[in-house]
């Protein structure tokens, strides 16, 4: 029971970390999850005994398999030389050079143990900086290089760690045996992964030939595949399960897999199943990392022989040396590639991006927890607590440095803006194409709406506008780009709020509303105008006061709505005022935009449309209240949604015919439309069943 409760708690913390990440987008989710895990360990005193073997099986195997499924094989082949260089030779170079450094800094750590520690500090973890990379739009070559090496460098690091610890325990190290072992686990692991993947694909085809085409069965088979392959390679043939699952992942979605075309639903269902699994596992990794930090650092903090400040200095020095070695290695590789293939001259900024993006992750801390507590002679393993401290410190420091410096380094890339602009002239980005589809749907819904039943159309248009706004905000990469759009939105909202306040004042002057309601609404509108003025003064920034204002406004609106439901006699007056104030807001927006002060000002048309739809929807809601037309409303909404989806499909075809998007992007957009349409159909069927 405790295991189940702990699992539920950890998954809930993952969800909480994601919610917090939306409020502080500048901090990567990995760091937020580490902090939450650390708080769990310190406040709740939760303890999860992490073992390297089950951690590799439960987390690393499915994540690397999924990375292999999605990794572009052409990019992997194009960068094969540098990927192998970074994943194998750089790891071994880091092991020995880092081992010399650690041993020189802390002579109490034997050279063999220092080599073992450096071996675990060498592998990179792209999951840790994946969120940052998406926000800052790192060059694809850098992303492919870091992701490609991370697929196989865990095997190199773990082999080095294994033999380093063995040497530290026995006092002997045979490099010939280590090299032969690495060759065996790598080659046999690759063969095992390829062979098992071919066997599993054959089983899938056999199931199809026997008429067993259930999507759920094949999806579950996909999900358990990496666990089966890892266990077979690691436990039965004693090879690298890491390399086995990577090779299997690369082979899993081959064009020769007939079951993918025979089961078109499988691609959609399995894709979302993998999204959920990867989301949970990624979050749990860093939650567990945070939980293990006190374990890794407590011994050093309480150690009187090595001061905490000295240990922190070791962490910084070792991290700087690792980054420096990685930078030099990547830059020299780029220089050699430039001379051999006569490609572009290597850039210092690009090499530094690759170096910083190679952040360390949970495998470093979890692996170093496997350091034995005693030697073969029965003595305590020397400076084990300091080794844990250094591993945890370098991991956290690499994440912090990556989150801070990657956005700055991307801005230093020469001609970055020109490259993006030229790319946009050739093809629309996925976000731009999705936004075009939404605007096409809005146009078609406006044309198809019924004059006598406007609320469904206004609701749907408002929904599409919100989706479009989220897309636009997610596509911007800085305050300078975001500020104009936010300023337009805030100014239009201020015009509407001012119109509402003037409408309420006129109603009170004419004696059409009570003093109580007038005082309440006037205070609200004046407070909202003050908040809008504050936001305009800080447009482009997300302060805590703004977040509190938004949250407080939503809570207040819900409370007032519940109060009206509890006192029906107030409903008529409230609806009357809501209708009049909405008309006053529309009138003031229209009059202000035509005034001399704003006549020549160019506002974002979508922002204006969003606010107009908001107030028109309020009027339509008041008119339809109590009309008893729920089924009519739902039927009209269903009709308009189908029209919107048809408009989006036509827009996809139009964009592809005019070469604004690639066929692959068109397929992805069409799949998203089909999925949304199916979801709406299922919801409509459930509603009919209830009635």
Token duo for residue 677: 């349409």
Residue that finishes a domain, picked among 588, 603, 628 = 628
Q: What is the mean pLDDT of residues 504-517?
A: 86
13/671: higher pLDDT:
13
Cα–Cα distance between 646 and 444 in angstroms, integer? 9
Q: What is the mean pLDDT of residues 649-661?
A: 84
Q: Can you give the pLDDT at residue 300?
A: 72
Cα distances from 562 to residues 18, 555, 570, in angstroms, run 30, 11, 11
Kindly state whether residue 322 falls inside one of the protein's structural domains: yes
| Each residue's pLDDT tens digit, 467-505 | 887 777 665 544 444 457 778 888 888 899 999 999 989
| Each residue's pLDDT tens digit, 443-471 | 888 888 887 777 888 888 888 887 887 77
The string of DSSP letters for 574-596 reads HHHHHHHHHHHHHHHHHHHHHST
Confidence of residue 130 (pLDDT cuts 50, 70, 90): low
Token duo for residue 546: 């703004």
Token duo for residue 28: 């990567």
Confidence of residue 421 (pLDDT cuts 50, 70, 90): very low
Answer yes or no: do 669 and 556 share one domain: no
Pick from 138-152, 369-383, 554-568 the range whose average pLDDT is largest: 138-152
Kindly state whether residue 134 falls inside one of the protein's structural domains: yes
Kindly state whether residue 532 falls inside one of the protein's structural domains: yes
Count helices and strands in the chain by DSSP H and E runs: 29, 0
Q: What is the mean pLDDT of residues 268-283?
A: 84
Kindly state whether residue 459 falls inside one of the protein's structural domains: no
477-483 long-range contacts (CB < 8 A, ≥24 apart) are 477/135, 477/136, 477/137, 479/540, 479/541, 480/540, 482/540, 483/539, 483/540
Answer yes or no: do 338 and 363 share one domain: yes
Is residue 691's pLDDT more than 60? no
Kindly state whether residue 462 falls inside one of the protein's structural domains: no
Q: What is the mean pLDDT of residues 105-125?
A: 87
Beta partners for residue 374, in sequence order: 380
Residue that finishes a domain, picked among 628, 646, 675 = 628
Answer yes or no: do 73 and 209 share one domain: yes
| CATH number, residue 374 | 1.20.1530.20
Exposed/middle/buried for residue 319 (C-beta within 10 Å: 0-12, 13-18, 19+): buried
Answer yes or no: do 403 and 504 share one domain: no
The length of the chain is 691
Answer yes or no: do 296 and 367 share one domain: yes
589/264: higher pLDDT:
589
Answer yes or no: do 620 and 634 share one domain: no
- H-helix segments, 449-595: 455-475, 479-509, 515-537, 544-566, 571-594
Kindly state whether residue 460 falls inside one of the protein's structural domains: no
165/100: higher pLDDT:
100
Kindly state whether residue 423 falls inside one of the protein's structural domains: no
Q: Can you give the pLDDT at residue 23?
A: 75
- Which pTM does this prediction carry? 0.67
Answer yes or no: do 250 and 385 share one domain: yes
Confidence of residue 128 (pLDDT cuts 50, 70, 90): low
Exposed/middle/buried for residue 100 (C-beta within 10 Å: 0-12, 13-18, 19+): middle
Cα–Cα distance between 200 and 221 in angstroms, integer? 9
Exposed/middle/buried for residue 211 (C-beta within 10 Å: 0-12, 13-18, 19+): exposed
Kindly state whether residue 256 falls inside one of the protein's structural domains: yes
Answer yes or no: do 106 and 141 share one domain: yes
Rg for the chain, CA atoms, rounded = 30
Cα–Cα distance between 95 and 87 in angstroms, integer? 12
Domain total of the chain: 3
Answer yes or no: do 594 and 684 share one domain: no
Answer yes or no: do 634 and 621 share one domain: no
Cα–Cα distance between 497 and 252 in angstroms, integer? 56
| Each residue's pLDDT tens digit, 230-263 | 999 999 998 888 889 989 988 886 555 545 544 5
| In contact, 364 and 123? CB cutoff 8 Å | yes
Answer yes or no: do 433 and 383 share one domain: no
Domain that holds residue 678: 428-453+630-691
**Helix crossing, 111-121 with 91-105: angle to 10°?**
130
Residue that finishes a domain, picked among 392, 418, 444 = 418
The alpha carbon of 237 is separated from its chain's Cα centroid by a whole number of angstroms, namely 36
Answer yes or no: do 33 and 158 share one domain: yes
């Amino acid at each position: 029971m405790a295991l189940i409760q702990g699992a539920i708690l950890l998954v809930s913390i993952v969800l909480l970390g994601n919610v917090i990440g939306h409020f502080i987008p500048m901090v990567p989710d990995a760091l937020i999850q580490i902090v939450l895990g650390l708080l769990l360990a310190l406040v709740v005193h939760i303890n999860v005994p992490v073992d390297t073997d089950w951690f590799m099986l439960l987390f690393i195997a499915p994540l690397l398999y999924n990375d292999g499924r999605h990794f572009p094989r052409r990019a992997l082949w194009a960068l094969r030389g540098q990927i192998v260089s970074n994943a194998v030779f750089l790891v071994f170079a880091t092991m020995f050079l880092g081992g010399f450094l650690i041993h020189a800094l802390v002579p109490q750590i034997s050279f063999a143990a220092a080599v073992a520690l450096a071996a675990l500090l060498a592998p990179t973890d792209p999951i840790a900086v994946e969120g940052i990379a998406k926000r800052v739009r790192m060059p694809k070559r850098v992303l492919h290089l870091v992701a490609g090496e991370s697929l196989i460098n865990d095997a190199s690091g773990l082999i080095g760690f294994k033999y380093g610890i063995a040497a530290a325990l026995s006092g002997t190290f045979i490099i010939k045996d280590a090299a032969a072992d690495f060759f065996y686990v790598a080659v046999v692991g690759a063969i095992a992964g390829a062979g098992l993947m071919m066997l599993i694909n054959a089983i899938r085809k056999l199931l199809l030939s026997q008429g067993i085409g259930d999507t759920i069965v094949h999806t579950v088979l996909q999900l358990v595949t990496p666990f089966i392959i890892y266990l077979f390679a690691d436990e039965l043939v004693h090879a690298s399960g890491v390399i086995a699952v990577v090779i299997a992942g690369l082979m899993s979605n081959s064009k020769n897999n007939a079951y993918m075309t025979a089961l078109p639903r499988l691609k959609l269902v399995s894709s979302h199943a993998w999204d959920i699994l990867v989301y949970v596992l990624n979050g749990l990794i860093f939650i567990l990392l945070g939980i293990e930090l006190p374990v890794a650092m407590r011994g050093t903090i309480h150690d009187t022989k090595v001061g905490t400040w000295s240990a922190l200095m070791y962490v910084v020095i070792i991290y700087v040396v690792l980054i420096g070695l990685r930078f030099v290695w990547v830059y020299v590789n780029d220089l050699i590639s430039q001379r051999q293939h006569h490609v572009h001259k290597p850039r210092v900024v690009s090499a530094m991006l690759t170096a910083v993006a190679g952040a360390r992750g949970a495998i470093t801390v979890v692996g170093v927890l496997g350091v034995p507590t005693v030697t073969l002679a029965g003595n305590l393993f020397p400076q084990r607590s300091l080794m844990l401290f250094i591993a945890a410190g370098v991991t956290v420091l690499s994440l912090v440095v990556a989150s801070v410096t990657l956005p700055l380094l991307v801005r230093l890339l020469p001609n970055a803006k020109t490259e993006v602009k030229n790319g946009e002239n050739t093809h629309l980005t996925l976000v731009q194409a999705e936004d075009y589809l939404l605007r096409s749907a809005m146009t078609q819904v406006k044309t198809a709406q019924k004059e006598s039943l406007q609320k469904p159309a206004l609701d749907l248009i408002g929904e599409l506008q919100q989706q479009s706004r989220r897309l636009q905000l997610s596509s911007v990469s800085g305050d300078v780009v975001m500020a104009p759009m936010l300023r337009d939105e805030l100014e239009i909202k201020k015009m509407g709020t001012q119109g509402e306040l003037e409408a309420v004042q006129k109603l009170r002057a004419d004696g059409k509303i009570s003093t109580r309601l007038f005082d309440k609404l006037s205070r609200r509108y004046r407070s909202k105008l003050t908040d809008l003025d504050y936001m305009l003064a800080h447009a482009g920034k997300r302060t805590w006061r703004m977040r509190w204002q938004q949250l407080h406004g939503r809570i207040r609106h819900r409370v007032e709505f519940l109060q009206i439901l509890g006192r029906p006699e107030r409903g008529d007056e409230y609806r009357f005022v809501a209708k009049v104030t909405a008309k006053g807001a529309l009138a003031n927006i229209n009059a202000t935009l035509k005034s001399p002060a704003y006549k020549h000002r160019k506002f974002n048309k979508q922002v204006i449309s969003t606010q107009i739809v908001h107030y028109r929807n309020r009027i339509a809601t008041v008119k339809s209240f109590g009309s008893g037309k729920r089924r009519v409303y739902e039927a009209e909404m269903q009709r308009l949604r189908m029209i919107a989806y048809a408009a989006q499909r036509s827009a996809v075809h139009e964009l592809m015919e005019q070469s604004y998007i690639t066929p692959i992007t068109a397929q992805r957009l069409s799949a998203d439309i089909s999925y949304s349409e199916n979801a709406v159909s299922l919801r409509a069927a459930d509603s009919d069943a209830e009635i």
